[in-house]
Every structure is written in structure tokens, then in C-alpha cells.
Amino acid sequence: MPKLLLEVNHITKSFGDQAVLDIQGLRVYDGERVALIGENGAGKSTLLSILSGELMPDSGQVRRYAPLSIIHQSGEERLDAGRQLAARFRAPELRDGLSGGEQTRRRIAAALSSDATLLLADEPTTDLDADGVERLRRALSQRSGALILVSHDRALLNALCNRVLHLEGGHLTDFPGGYEAYRRELAQRREHQQFEYDQYRAEKARLKAMAQKKAEWAASVKKAPKRMGNSEARLHTRESTNAVLKQSAARRTVLDRMERLEVKQRPRDLPDIRMVLGVSHSIAAKTALSLQCKALSAGGRTLLSGAAFDLPTGSRTALMGENGSGKTTLLRALRGECAPGVRFEGSVRLNPAARLGFFDQDHARALRFDDTALENALAESSLAESVARTVLARLGLRGDSVFKPVRVLSGGERTKIALARLLLSDVNLLLMDEPTNHLDLFTLQALEELLSGYGGTLLFVSHDRDFVSSVATRVLAFEGGRLRAFEGTLAQMNAEDSRDRSAEARQLEISTLQMRMAALAARMSAPKKGDSPDRLNAEYAELAERLRALKNGG
């Protein structure tokens, strides 16, 4: 039987009046790869901090039976990793001006250097480029011991996890199997819950109608006519009274049955947004923004030179590149904000009808912390409150949560408010830098739907390839200090690159065959001692057949 590495018994945790965790029990064994899933604010990071010992629960016990390390989702890592792991994750030395992805690489390499048996990872793909995510996937898949992973990267969850813990309302629900199995099970449970709710509503309506009929029948019983004799009147009254009492008793029985019905809750549906955001002020021209960049540099390092691109009106463009390539720097240059040490030579032409909105990685700067979530969302909007509440609900902030001040909300919830504020504002050109950071899986999918239906023009940075595939209609990619524009989806670009690589490999093989045939031809014209003409002819014919097949596309 696998070794028990972690045991949790009856832990609770509250912050002020808000109860966050109430977990009866949890056990994690050697070899398990556990996905911890829940909405923003559910308490995932709090739970990891308690499991690691960095935070004490209000009650209960956490027993650790093996060395443990944790990858935090943010913060500066002061410790340097071992040389081998630092090289494996391309983790730079600590210095000023590290990008978000470079800081993440340092946190990963430092945590893995401890070689602990149990690893806790809180959004370890934050700001990582595709290369970094792939290096992380390989490292975690090859690693022995156990893993508890919080991530919004669906491909990573699918590749690694064999168990899912769903945190909701402070409680954990355990789902054996991988992430896709969890999603199927969750959908089946929701369908069953919807069926039970429909049955409950139908039975309640049937009993209510029956009770109403009993009441109406009792009310319709006629009194004795005035001309009726006393004996007849007494008989009629007695019969009428008995009938009314009987129907009243039957009605009470029906009402009792209604009260005893087991109440079934309706599955929570996210409200559908039928309106198209971003079209309050349309741009009639074909181009919303144009860039001419002679040079873009930071810290004396050239990021771009001789680059140019247009953003077609109504397009959704993903800006992609490795960590440190200059994506954030370019977005800020487009906005006219260059940090100290950044130099931009060139011009940005904004269409006169364009209204620019910007989502920065430090999005909390735009929020007023003493105002409510709803007030912040409507701060730059002319839309109705009902629309704002619909957008907030779609992003996972529902009910009374929208009336809470921002200062009491989690980092992920603040991200949702900043996104809602931008989406509801009177802008038609969005620049977004890593909008998926710190979002839970449910909100991530909702944001995909919102941005896929966005009516304005969008340029965004994201390392989440599933998100890019769902949202982007075109791609801008940093490649060796240049910008490559691809008019099509990420999948189409990858397919074209694959064809190009195949064509390059085929051409290399053709050249290799031609050189081998030339060498054989020379030996056939001047055979050496021991050469067999028949064998040389046969080898030459075989090479010629392979060359012919390659040239014909075989």
C-alpha cells in the first residue's frame, strides 16, 4: 500500500466573520497527483498555506509524514536554486527588472531544489511561456512522491493529475480520476440535480393546484335556500358542513404533503450575456491601430528592431513570445507608457475613433478599495447596473458579493472586478496583459466566451494556449527580435509551422540522398578492390527510388 504523506483532521479557518475552510478529513499518499480546484476566493491558497505549515488553522490537525516544499503563485524568490535546476528552467539570477515569467522560473527551480517528497504548487504556470510550461510538465511528470496542484492550465491538469479535490463552501469533494473525468462527473451530477429539481417543481405545482381546487370546491358549497323547511335546512346544512370539512381536511393533507416535500435546489447556472460588449462606439475604418517600430530596447537589450504591424478593426490578436522577449514592454509602449530604462523609437497610430482600454498585470492599481465590487465595475461605464451584475456573475461574483468592498476580496476576485470594469467601459480597443492570471478554471472559461464575443478590437498577451486557441483570430509572435504576423488561429499557425518543418526535413533528406548517390556513382565509375558492381548498382537503385518518392511527396 502506498505510504501516507499527509493527513488532515477536522480543520477550520475563518477570517473575521467569514468562514473559509471546514474540512473533515484529507489523506494524500505517495504517487498521487492531486488537482485542487475551486472558484476564486474559495480558499485554495489558504488551504495550501495550512498544509505547508505557513498558516495555522483555527482548529484541527495537519500531520506531515514527509519533507514538503511549496511553489507560491507570486512573490520574489530570494534563494538561488541549484545550478542544474536553474539551467533546466532557465531561471536567471536575482536582479532588478525580472519579468513575471522569470520570477516564476526562479520560484519553481528553488522549490524543486529541495527534492521534497510532497510538492504543493499554487498556480506555477503564472506568466510562464510555452517553453516554461513544457519544462514544468516534464519535471513534474518525472518527479517521484506526491503533488497537490492548483492551476488554471487545463492541458497541464490533464497531463498530470489522477485525482481531483473540488473546494466549495469550505468543504472538499473528492473525485477519483483525472481532470476530464472530473468534468464529466460534474456535468452528470448537474444533470441529475436538474432532473430532481424539475421533479420537485412539478410535484409542488401539482399539489398546489390540488389544494386550490379543494379550497374552491369548499367555497362553492351553497347555503340552504330561505324557503326550505327547518328539518330540510338542518339536513342540508349538516351535509354542506360535512362536505366543507371533508374538503378542508383533504386540502390540509395536500398542504402537509407540500411541506414535507424534500426541497431540491436548482443547479447554479451562469447568466447568459446576450449583448455584445465593446460596440457602443464603433470604428468604421479597417484599422484600429498601427505600429512602426525602429527599435524597442530595455536595459540596453534590443527587444525589437524594424517591426511593424496593423490591428484590423474587430480582430482578436494574441501577442506571443518567450519570457523576457518584450511582450509587456511592447503593450506599454503602445499605450505610451515606457518604464525607466526602456527606449522606444517609432510611432503608434491610433484611429481617431478608437477608445483605448488597458488591462495591466498590476490591475489592482485601477481599483478603489473602499468601493464595492459593483461600484468599481460601473466606474467607467454608461451601461445599466443589471448589465454590470450580469457580467460580474458571469465572471463568478454573484449575489451579495458584489456589494462587498474590494479590500476584503481575494486577489482572484479583484482580477474579476478589474476585468468587468474594463469590459463594461466605453472602450472599443482593448490591450490586455495576461488577463487569465489568478483566475479559477470556471471564470477562465467564462472569460473565453466573453472575449470570443467581444465586439471591439482586442490585443492580448497570454501563455495559456487553450485560451489563445479559443479567443484569438490572429497571432503576433516575437521571433528573434522581429514580429511575425499570422492571419489565422494558433492551431492554423502551428499546422503551417509543422508543414514548414516537414518540408525542411524532406529537403534535407533529399540533399543527403543526392550526396550519397553522387558518392556511389563515383565508386561505380572507378570501383575499388572488393567492390561488388551488383551491390553498388542495387544500393544506387534503392537510393534513387527513395529520392523519387521524396520528390513526389512520398
342 and 193 in a common domain: no
Which residue, 430, 481, 463, is CA-closest to 320?
463
Give me the CATH number covering residue 378: 3.40.50.300
Q: 457 forms bridges with which residues in the sheet?
A: 429
218 and 151 in a common domain: no
396 and 314 in a common domain: yes
pTM of the prediction?
Answer: 0.67
Determine which helix (DSSP H) or strand (DSSP E) holds 154, and give its type and residue range. helix 154-160
Q: Collapsing DSSP states into helix, strand and coil, what is residue 355?
A: coil
Residue 273 located in a structural domain: no
Residue 534 located in a structural domain: yes
Domains contained in the chain, number: 4
Which residue, 129, 103, 132, 155, is CA-closest to 477?
129
546 and 400 in a common domain: no
Which residue, 475, 465, 491, is CA-closest to 316?
475
Residue 275 located in a structural domain: no
Per-residue pLDDT tens, the chain, 554 aa: give them: 789 999 999 999 998 888 999 999 999 999 999 999 998 888 999 999 999 999 999 999 999 999 999 999 888 887 777 788 888 888 888 887 788 888 899 999 999 988 899 999 999 998 888 888 999 999 999 999 999 999 988 889 999 999 999 998 899 999 999 999 988 888 787 777 777 777 877 877 887 887 787 677 666 655 545 555 555 555 545 556 666 567 667 777 767 777 777 777 766 554 444 445 666 678 889 999 999 999 999 888 899 999 999 999 999 999 999 888 899 999 999 998 888 889 999 999 999 999 999 998 777 778 999 999 999 999 988 888 988 998 898 888 888 889 999 998 888 888 899 999 988 888 899 999 999 888 888 888 888 988 988 889 999 999 888 899 999 999 999 988 899 999 999 989 888 877 766 666 777 777 787 888 888 788 788 777 777 777 777 788 878 877 777 777 65
Mapped to the 3 state alphabet, what secondary structure does 264-319 carry?
Answer: CCCCCCCCCCCCCCCCCCCCCCCEEEEEEEEEEEECCEEEEEEEEEEEECCCEEEE
Rounded to whole angstroms, the Cα distance separating 133 from 376 reads 34
Cβ-based neighbour number of residue 12 at 10 Å = 15
248 and 308 in a common domain: no
Eight-state DSSP code of residue 340: T
Residue 130 located in a structural domain: yes
Cβ–Cβ under 8 Å, residues 19 and 12: yes
The dihedral through the CA atoms of 277, 282, 287, 291 has a sign that is negative
373 and 446 in a common domain: yes
138 and 169 in a common domain: yes
374 and 457 in a common domain: yes
Eight-state DSSP code of residue 129: -
Residue 282 located in a structural domain: no
246 and 169 in a common domain: no
Rounded to whole angstroms, the Cα distance separating 460 from 444 reads 14
Listed residues 464, 488, 512: the one ending a domain: 488
100 and 57 in a common domain: yes
Enclosing domain of residue 170: 4-177
Listed residues 177, 209, 240: the one ending a domain: 177
Residue 252 located in a structural domain: yes
Eight-state DSSP code of residue 401: G
E strands in 368-453: 429-433
Which residue reads 492599481 in cell numbers? 365
146 and 27 in a common domain: yes
546 and 459 in a common domain: no
Cβ–Cβ under 8 Å, residues 457 and 314: yes
Listed residues 488, 512, 536: the one ending a domain: 488
Residue 387 located in a structural domain: yes
Residue 277 located in a structural domain: no
The dihedral through the CA atoms of 459, 460, 463, 468 has a sign that is negative
